[in-house]
């Protein structure tokens, strides 16, 4: 009844024809598809950025949504195109680990190597598999809903580990995973990593380079002007933020900066 | 018959999962919604920018369109979520004045404080009410079309005044409200602020810092190369423009610059 | 049955209300239209950039798609609005050559001067024909599918030539037409311009300023670290690329740089 949904997450940017081509390819195969842009501004070739984005966004989509994720530094090589079924959604992406957080999260998982070339756009280029492989396979899937027709299930797909905090004596060593548009610093600490007394007291000692964050608060507005505070972010990770300002700018902290949590 | 329309205007940017999450939340509640991006590039926390954008864009949408406007520096505080009916459209936004121009424009206005928590995404975070409150309420409204079910009408909602030009002796003092992508400078003067003789003769004296604009013309092409000229912009405001160039760059003028119109 | 498709390609940017206004105008006339953003980030007034973008993207859309292309430095002058039928798609654009590559490509072509003002949004502004002319005509076309109702066919429409490579003794002189987000350099050489021995051997001599490219390879991954190599790009043009890096940055080469291919 309802139109099928295909989402797009790429590092193509919005400046040229690439995204338009993906949409055209999909709509020519099935003009009833509802295409939803998640983002096309993944940093070029940044698999971790894409992995976090699709894992966070896909949680909220309805059953049978098809997510196309194209960050593909290995285009033209032997890396395989994959069709993954995880819980109630489908994912179409290159086999380079970009779905690692989906693999980690989902209990029920079928990963297929897409090999049925008659669903591809011919001739297949060596440089634009978004157009020639990923988009058309997504569109055909909305016509037949037969994942098995796309290729056989495999188990040796690539995955990488999101860096996890490591305990080292009295400290927990983590990292700034990501910085958003507001300058909020997302660490790889989750609420579960915090000792109970920090959650109760709201007092902590979190070191970023030579800067210290000493309060865990419920929301941005509880921070004093220019005071960096920690909050439990909407994705479950601890974020360092400054009320109505950019923590990244206030603290001069970039992505990849070590974050050290003093325990006890 | 026709699918319901929800538009999105935010300061989230397009660089991460936030916009995708909003879309997922809406489509999981009602997969038939037609989601329309107005912009996600409102300057962070810039209520005036958002107020002008939604006021200009919403004029053109069909009846029963639902506009979700999320620029929300007070997220997590007691600021209220609102559902406004103005003429034939609905607006869902925080109570921080971001709809001020809609309030000013519309005769028939009902503003409700959204309190019916069973329409929210649980548990409600302290930092992402776009996901937990605004998007789901918009989607549920397309299912029941019962604004009264969302909360009671209020009258003490916040509004701010768009800076209006002020007469001071022989001059009218205004300001550059906004600069668009082409470098056109939008003032807060409207055609109605201009004396009849300026409209007839096309001669005026408009001062921006130490620069002077001396002609009001019908369109960009009537300007000489590098000549800043005034036009009546598409939104009704007087704009200072340079034909095929950026007035902002040619004049070195930024947003907030005083604009002084000499009268008589 | 299926909803009509209107695509948008503009230089409006995504930062203000302009794109939202176009979408509102279309949906108020026909709320069943499926609006597809190709890009709004054409460089301001850049007709060549827009011409390449719409030509590349439009190849892939289904029959009866209507492409609205608004890059319009002459807005408010006598330049005509056009409705073009080329093969199975429609194009609505100003008469400034922005459709030149479509004209070059398509055998079957009907170009109409849009004159039926009752399809326009009244009063017509002098500065925003996207809102007042192009968007409403596109929307009305989805209601009546009668291109002839929009105006008479003409043959004196404007077109410009994409710069073609020129032979000069033992060299072929071309140019960098475009640089994409990854820093790939698109030349105006096509595979057909290359001598057979280059295609066979993969050896060539392509000069960009004082830099030399000496290998034509099948895909990015065949390049050595930091080695600029030539590939046949997905649009058929020869591109200079660097594996997992930006050729533009590695070579310090910008758009418009001469590219010289040594023959034999």
- Condensed to tens digits (0 to 9), the pLDDT of residues C181-214 reads 999 999 999 999 999 999 999 999 999 999 999 9
pLDDT of the residue at B264: 73
Say how many domains are in chain C.
2
- Condensed to tens digits (0 to 9), the pLDDT of residues A193-224 reads 999 999 999 999 999 999 999 999 999 989 99
Cα–Cα distances in angstroms (integers) from residue C135 to residues A114, A134, C131, in the given order: 40, 31, 6
Closest chain B C-alpha to A124 CA, distance in angstroms: 29
On whether residue C160 sits in a domain, the answer given is: no
pLDDT of the residue at C1: 65
Instruction: Look at C14 and B39 and tell me if their CB atoms are within 8 Å.
Output: yes
Q: Are A256 and A248 in contact (CB under 8 A)?
A: no
Give residue A7's Cα distance to chain centre.
Answer: 13
3-state secondary structure chain A: CCCCEEEEEECCCCCCCHHHHHHHHHHHHCCCCEEEEEECCCCCCCHHHHHHHHHHHHCCCCCCCEEEEECCCCCCCCCCEEEEEECCEEEEEECCCCCHHHHHHCCCEEEEECCCHHHCCCCCCCCCHHHHHHHHHHHHHHHHCCHHHHCCEECCCCCCCCCCCEEECCEEEEEEEEECCCCCEEEEEEHHHCCHHHHHHCEEEEEECCEEEEEECCCHHHCCCCCEEEEECCCCEEEEEECCECHHHHHCCCCCCEEEEECC
What CA–CA distance (Å, rounded) separates A162 from A52?
A: 9
CB-nearest to B218 from C19, C73, C126 is C126
Report the mean per-residue pLDDT for chain A.
Answer: 95
Give residue A93's Cα distance to chain centre.
Answer: 12
Instruction: Look at A20 and C53 and tell me if their CB atoms are within 8 Å.
Output: yes
What CA–CA distance (Å, rounded) separates C98 from C84?
A: 12
The verdict on C149 and C174 lying in the same domain is: no
Q: Are A234 and A184 in contact (CB under 8 A)?
A: no
Instruction: Look at C131 and B56 and tell me if their CB atoms are within 8 Å.
Output: no
The verdict on A140 and A210 lying in the same domain is: no
pLDDT at residue A234 above 80? yes
pLDDT of the residue at B3: 92
pLDDT at residue B74 above 90? no
Report the mean per-residue pLDDT for chain C.
Answer: 95
Instruction: Look at A21 and C52 and tell me if their CB atoms are within 8 Å.
Output: no
Domain boundary among A95, A127, A154: A154
Instruction: Look at A219 and B76 and tell me if their CB atoms are within 8 Å.
Output: yes
CB-nearest to B39 from C19, C74, C125 is C19
The verdict on C78 and C177 lying in the same domain is: no
Q: Please provide the DSSP assignment of B120-161 as one string.
A: SPSSPPSS-HIIIIIHHHHHHHHHH--GGGG--EES-----P
Instruction: Search chain B and give the residue with CA nearest A50.
Output: B16
On whether residue A36 sits in a domain, the answer given is: yes
Q: Are C13 and C40 in contact (CB under 8 A)?
A: yes
3-state secondary structure of B90: strand
Interface test with C, best of A10, A24, A40 (most C CBs within 10 A): A24
CB-nearest to A73 from C40, C61, C244 is C244
pLDDT of the residue at B1: 65
- Condensed to tens digits (0 to 9), the pLDDT of residues C235-246 reads 899 999 999 899
Domain boundary among C110, C134, C154: C154
The verdict on C44 and C119 lying in the same domain is: yes
Residues 6+ apart with CB under 8 A from A164: A188
On whether residue A236 sits in a domain, the answer given is: yes
On whether residue B159 sits in a domain, the answer given is: no
On whether residue B161 sits in a domain, the answer given is: no
Q: Are B208 and B240 in contact (CB under 8 A)?
A: yes
- Condensed to tens digits (0 to 9), the pLDDT of residues C111-160 reads 999 999 999 999 999 889 999 999 999 999 999 999 999 999 999 999 99
What CA–CA distance (Å, rounded) separates B11 from C14?
A: 12
On whether residue C109 sits in a domain, the answer given is: yes
pLDDT band with cut points at 50, 70 and 90 for residue C264: confident
- Condensed to tens digits (0 to 9), the pLDDT of residues B4-43 reads 999 999 999 999 999 999 999 999 999 999 999 999 999 9
The verdict on C170 and C133 lying in the same domain is: no
pLDDT band with cut points at 50, 70 and 90 for residue C87: confident
The verdict on A25 and A147 lying in the same domain is: yes
Q: What percentage of residues in chain C have a pLDDT greater than 90?
A: 88
Q: What percentage of residues in chain C have a pLDDT greater than 70?
A: 100
3-state secondary structure chain C: CCCCEEEEEECCCCCCCHHHHHHHHHHHHCCCCEEEEEECCCCCCCHHHHHHHHHHHHCCCCCCCEEEEECCCCCCCCCCEEEEEECCEEEEEECCCCCHHHHHHCCCEEEEECCCHHHCCCCCCCCCHHHHHHHHHHHHHHHHCCHHHHCCEECCCCCCCCCCCEEECCEEEEEEEEECCCCCEEEEEEHHHCCHHHHHHCEEEEEECCEEEEEECCCHHHCCCCCEEEEECCCCEEEEEECCECHHHHHCCCCCCEEEEECC
**Cα angle, residue A199 at apex, residues A198 and A202 outer, rounded to 5°:** 65
In which residue are the tokens 């040796």 written? A156
Domain encompassing residue C120: 5-154
Residues 6+ apart with CB under 8 A from C201: none
pLDDT at residue A1 above 70? no
- Condensed to tens digits (0 to 9), the pLDDT of residues C12-39 reads 999 999 999 999 999 999 999 999 999 9
Q: Average of pLDDT values for B97-110?
A: 94
Task: Tell me the β-bridge partners of C110.
Answer: C85
**Residue B203 main-chain phi, psi, to 5 deg:** -100, 135
- Count of Cβ atoms closer than 10 Å to residue B46 Cβ: 17
CB-nearest to C36 from A23, A74, A76 is A23
- Condensed to tens digits (0 to 9), the pLDDT of residues B115-173 reads 999 999 999 998 899 999 999 999 999 999 999 999 999 999 999 988 899 999 999 99
Chains that touch C (3 or more CB pairs under 8 A): A, B
Nearest to A223 by CA among A184, A177, A263: A184
The verdict on B220 and B254 lying in the same domain is: yes
The verdict on C149 and C172 lying in the same domain is: no
CATH code: domain of residue C71: 3.40.50.10790
Token couple for C111: 């170009």
Cα–Cα distances in angstroms (integers) from residue A234 to residues A175, A205, A221, B127, C196, in the given order: 18, 21, 15, 6, 58
- Count of Cβ atoms closer than 10 Å to residue B123 Cβ: 7
ipTM over 0.90: yes
pLDDT band with cut points at 50, 70 and 90 for residue C75: confident
Residue bearing the bigger pLDDT, A130 or A77: A130
- Helix, strand counts (H, E) of chain B: 7, 15
The CA-to-CA distance between both ends of chain A, in Å, stands at 57
On whether residue B180 sits in a domain, the answer given is: yes
Nearest to B184 by CA among B259, B241, B231: B241
Nearest to A262 by CA among A213, A199, A190: A213
pLDDT band with cut points at 50, 70 and 90 for residue C2: confident
**Cα angle, residue C190 at apex, residues C188 and C196 outer, rounded to 5°:** 135
Instruction: Search chain C and give the residue with CA nearest B43.
Output: C15
Chains that touch B (3 or more CB pairs under 8 A): A, C
Q: Are A99 and A167 in contact (CB under 8 A)?
A: no
The verdict on A123 and A172 lying in the same domain is: no
**Residue A191 main-chain phi, psi, to 5 deg:** -55, -35
On whether residue C159 sits in a domain, the answer given is: no
The verdict on C142 and C178 lying in the same domain is: no
pLDDT band with cut points at 50, 70 and 90 for residue C163: confident
Closest chain C C-alpha to A260 CA, distance in angstroms: 32
Domain boundary among C93, C120, C154: C154
CATH code: domain of residue B188: 2.40.30.90
What CA–CA distance (Å, rounded) separates C18 from C204?
A: 46
The verdict on A150 and A173 lying in the same domain is: no
The verdict on B125 and B247 lying in the same domain is: no
pLDDT at residue B215 above 80? yes
């Amino acid at each position: 009844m309802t139109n099928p949904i295909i989402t797009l997450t790429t590092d193509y940017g919005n400046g040229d024809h690439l995204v338009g081509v993906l949409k055209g390819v999909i709509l020519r195969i099935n003009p009833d598809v509802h295409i939803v842009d998640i983002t096309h501004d993944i940093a070029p070739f940044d698999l971790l950025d894409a992995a976090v984005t699709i894992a966070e966004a896909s949680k909220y989509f309805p059953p049978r949504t098809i997510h196309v994720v194209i960050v593909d530094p290995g285009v033209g090589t032997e890396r395989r195109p994959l069709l993954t079924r995880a819980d109630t959604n489908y994912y179409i992406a290159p086999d380079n680990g970009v779905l690692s957080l989906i693999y980690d999260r989902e209990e029920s998982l079928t990963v297929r190597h897409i090999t049925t070339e008659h669903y591809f756009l011919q001739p297949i280029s060596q440089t634009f598999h978004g157009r020639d492989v990923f988009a058309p396979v997504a569109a055909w899937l909305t016509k037949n809903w037969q994942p098995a027709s796309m290729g056989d299930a495999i188990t040796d797909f690539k995955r990488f580990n999101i860096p996890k905090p490591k305990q080292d004596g009295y400290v927990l060593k983590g990292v700034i995973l990501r910085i958003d548009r507001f300058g909020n610093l997302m660490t790889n600490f989750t609420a579960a990593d915090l000792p109970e007394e920090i959650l109760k007291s709201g007092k902590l000692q979190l070191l970023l380079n030579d800067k210290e964050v000493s309060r865990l608060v419920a929301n941005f507005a509880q921070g004093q002007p220019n005071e960096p505070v920690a909050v439990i972010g909407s994705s479950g990770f601890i974020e360092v933020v400054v009320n109505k300002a950019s923590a990244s700018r206030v603290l001069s902290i970039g992505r990849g900066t070590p974050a050290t949590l003093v325990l006890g």
